Amino acid sequence: MATEAAGTRGSLLARATLRLREAGVAEPRREALRILADHLGESAGAVLADTEAPIEPADLARLEQLVSRRAAGEPLPYVTGLAGFRRLALRCDRRALIPRPETEGLVDLVLERCTGGTIADIGTGSGCLALALADEGSFSLVVAVDRSREALGLARENVALTALGVTLVCGDLTSAFGDSSLDAVVSNPPYLATGEYESLDPSVRAWEPAAALVSGEDGLEATRRLLADARRVVGAGGWIALEVDASRAGETAGCARASGWEAVDIYEDLYGRERYLLARRSDGR
């Protein structure tokens, strides 16, 4: 892709597609179009409807950088700086995990049981769960918690971007909350074992923050702690909803029961994998 020959949107799309195909990207034209559209702030359809429009030199230079980053293996949402999550378009970069489609299903399960009161998203990362709950629920208070100040910085940008009412808190799991102060807790905690991290696809391991992925030798360290203390902060009859590793769903359910949670159930994601745990706080202590 030579900077001296800017050309049109169509010619740039063709060159970017070729570059990504040569780099082994699975859907090179779709991704090239996404990079172009997101950079221009237009829909893919709008770009395709006006392929003869010229590309400004400044746009060309930036687009060449973006295509080169994707060709080098950087995940597409980090390259474009944007990720879709349910009804929201959120900023996305290496300060937090990329929001994933399977995590969206956790929102539906929560809203089927709890739409009001106070809810906390623990380990919020980009803020995607908290923001979706604020967008679609009728909660009096949505709190987003993360111990990473870098991740909270990204979440803060997304709160400003969406203008949704979410309160940000820097803290470790549920330690910032008082007894019985919440109606529900939702979380996508880290759930990979230390040994599993090394075998991750390089597109994840080389780019996404390890602290948001790895949780001890068996992958359950954060989940155990969260299940134990969330029972303190969730009031009687309240809920906890977690995304879990499919290979440890049964073990995670056992941890929930051992921590005193009731009505513990595991639900499958759209791909048929055991992906979510929901449990209810008993009426007694």
**Per-residue model confidence as pLDDT tens digits over 119-171:** 999 999 999 999 999 999 999 999 999 999 999 999 999 999 999 999 999 99
49 burial type by CB count under 10 A (0-12 exposed, 13-18 middle, 19+ buried): exposed
How far from each other are the two terminal CA atoms of the chain, in whole angstroms?
65
In whole angstroms, what is the distance from residue 12 CA to residue 178 CA? Answer: 55
Instruction: Tell me what pLDDT residue 6 has.
Output: 61
Q: What percentage of the chain exceeds 70 in pLDDT?
A: 97
The set of residues, in sequence order, having a beta carbon less than 8 Å from that of 2 and lying 6+ positions away, is none
Taking the C-alpha atoms of residue 134 and residue 90, their distance in angstroms, rounded to an integer, is 14
The rounded Cα 231 to chain-centroid distance in angstroms is: 24
pLDDT given for residue 185 in this prediction: 98
Ordered alpha helix ranges (H), 163-217:
194-197, 202-205
What is the reported pLDDT for 69? 96
Residue spans per domain, the chain? 9-73, 97-280
Q: What does the DSSP 8-state code read for residue 136?
A: H
Q: What is the pLDDT of residue 170?
A: 97
CA-to-CA distance for 26 and 40, rounded, in angstroms? 23
Q: Tell me, which fold does domain 97-280 have in CATH?
A: Rossmann fold (3.40.50)
> pTM, whole model, 2 decimals?
0.91
pLDDT score, position 221: 95
What is the pLDDT at residue 1?
Answer: 45
How does pLDDT run along the chain (285 residues), one tens digit per residue? 444 446 899 999 999 999 999 999 999 999 999 999 999 999 999 999 999 999 988 889 999 999 999 999 999 999 999 999 999 999 999 999 999 999 999 999 999 999 899 999 999 999 999 999 999 999 999 999 999 999 999 999 999 999 999 999 999 999 999 999 999 999 999 999 998 888 888 888 889 999 999 999 999 999 999 999 999 999 999 999 999 999 999 999 999 999 999 999 999 998 999 999 999 998 765
For residue 191, give the nearest of 170, 212, 205, 171 by alpha carbon: 212
What integer pLDDT is reported at residue 284 of this predicted model? Answer: 60
Alpha helices in the chain (DSSP H): 9-22, 28-40, 44-49, 57-71, 76-80, 101-111, 128-136, 149-162, 194-197, 202-205, 221-233, 249-258
